[in-house]
Structure 1
Amino acid sequence: MTYHKISAHADEFARELERVSDKLNLTFSEVQIKQLLGYLDNLLLWTKAYNLTAITAPKEAFIKHILDCLAIVADLPFADKSGVSVLDIGTGAGLPSVIIAIMRPDWHVTALDSNGKKVRFIRQMVGELGLANVNPVASRIEDFDGAFDVITSRAFASLDDFVNLAKPYLKTDGVLYAMKGKAPTSDDVANLTDWQIEVKSIFVPQMSDERCVVYLIAK
């Protein structure tokens, strides 16, 4: 594979993925490593025209986008099952939807965003990287239809907003899964009394910032 933006770092990044695989409870095939690095390279290549990410330095993007999203994969709900349906709301350029799809080719991932340019980028990645399990959708969540086992988001500052928008699309036994920085406070979840909430810290290699995930299951 020919890289444009990460050519000077590709071997280093590939070695780092193999080095941290045990810490992330993941196993990377050669194909998956190429897909992850191909995605990162295209993300940085397309961002000037499509405004995909504010992070343009390859090493920083590798840590804050690729490793950050990989850190959640092993902890996703139903990780021991195949055929799980995932909806990623406000996926932007495909984070974490594309990363989940690369690591879980046996799952079905819908990448939803209202920004048409970003969804066009994801469609391009589906073709270039051979991601047959990704369905890119350019739509507002309010205009969308479907039911999913897991609904993820990395985009919402407010858990209330995420829950209110996501719950109509969640299967009866489904799980909402929010990627956050600092753990939510009691005030952040005060209105979510109908939900069983679990907060878990996650380890992201090379990142010192606090990161956590929030699981929400309807009572």
Structure 2
Amino acid sequence: MNDLRPDLESGLRQLQLDVALAEPLLAYLALLARWNATYNLTAIRDPREMLVKHLLDSLAMHAHLDGIASLADLGTGPGLPGIPLAIARPQLRVTLVESNGKKARFLREAARQLKLGNIEVAESRIEAFDAPGRFDAITARALATLPLILALGGHLLAPGGRLLAMKGVLPEDEIAALPAGWRVAAVHPLQVPGLEAERHLVEIVRTPG
């Protein structure tokens, strides 16, 4: 994994993050690659591709977490974007919501080995996770459409909380189909180092009243 360090450090600089984060991020990547060989946690197997499409892609949203103390990562899979964000922001409390048992086992082991005291693992279906109004923000990466994410996990948001949905091309159809009571507060184009594809962070809040 050390041969990836220069690319990771370059990406961290571009995202205006401390290059010292490379050490724990590479430890996470090594653990993910090791478990992936047995448990098939992610379809991406090439470490260099994992670096860009998992680590840097997850971290691209970090600048939009100011003022957020608690974040639920819905359908996190192997901990994306939740674990990279928890590493980058140790003051952020991150709950990883994942119903798949082997992925949840990996998440607990990753939190233990990486000594991430700001991570909690909730082995649960999103809609069954009984923590109403507990989070400042929820996020999801390649999980589902915006309306479905809100249907499954909207109950987790505190008053004034927001969904930070990670998307590729701006999902105009999904935005048009938002359920009553929700609106787009902002759309942030994201630049992922090493990735040519479009990325957007769509910020959704409850409508007043």
Fold conserved (TM > 0.5)?
A: yes
Q: CA deviation at 1:182?
A: 0.7
Aligned to 1:120: 105
Larger mean CA deviation between 191-200 and 101-110 belongs to: 191-200
2:19 aligned with 1:33 = no
Tell me how far apart the structure 2 counterparts of residues 36 and 20 of structure 1 sit (CA, whole Å): 12
How far apart, in 1, do the equivalents of 2:130 and 2:7 lie?
A: 39
Q: Which runs of 5+ in 1 are unaligned?
A: 1-5
| 1:73 Cα deviation from its structure 2 partner | 1.0
Query: Which has the larger displacement, 139-148 or 17-26?
Result: 17-26
Q: Is the 8 A contact 2:99 2:125 kept in 1?
A: yes
Asked if 1 retains the 8 angstrom alpha-carbon contact of 2:73 and 2:140, the reply is: yes
SS at match of 1:132: coil
Aligned to 2:57: 68
Query: Is 1:48 equivalent to 2:37 in the alignment?
Result: yes
Mapped contact 2:104–2:123 kept (Cα < 8 A) = yes
Preserved contact between residue 115 and residue 138 of structure 1 (Cα < 8 Å): yes
How many angstroms does 1:42 deviate by?
1.1
Q: d(CA) in 2 for partners of 1:157 and 1:209? A: 19
Q: Retained in 2: the 8 A contact 1:91–1:155?
A: no
Match of 1:173, SS state, is strand
- After TM superposition, list the pairs within 5 Å mapping 1:88-167 onto structure 2: 88-146=73-131, 147-167=134-154
Give the structure 2 partner of residue 13 of structure 1: 4
Are 2:8 and 2:51, in contact at CA under 8 Å, matched by a contact in 1?
no
Identical-pair percentage: 41
Distance 2:11 2:125 in 1: 36
Query: How many residues align structurally?
Result: 203
Q: Give the TM-score normalised by structure 2.
A: 0.92
The match for 2:174 is 188
What runs of 5+ residues in structure 2 fail to find an aligned partner?
none
Measure how far apart 1:141 and its partner are.
Answer: 1.4
Q: Distance in 1 between matches of 2:40 and 2:166?
A: 22
Per-residue Cα deviation, 1:81-133 (whole angstroms, up to 9, x for no partner): 47x01100000000001011101110110001100100100111111111010
Query: TM-score, normalised on structure 1?
Result: 0.88
- CA RMSD of superposed structures (Å): 1.5
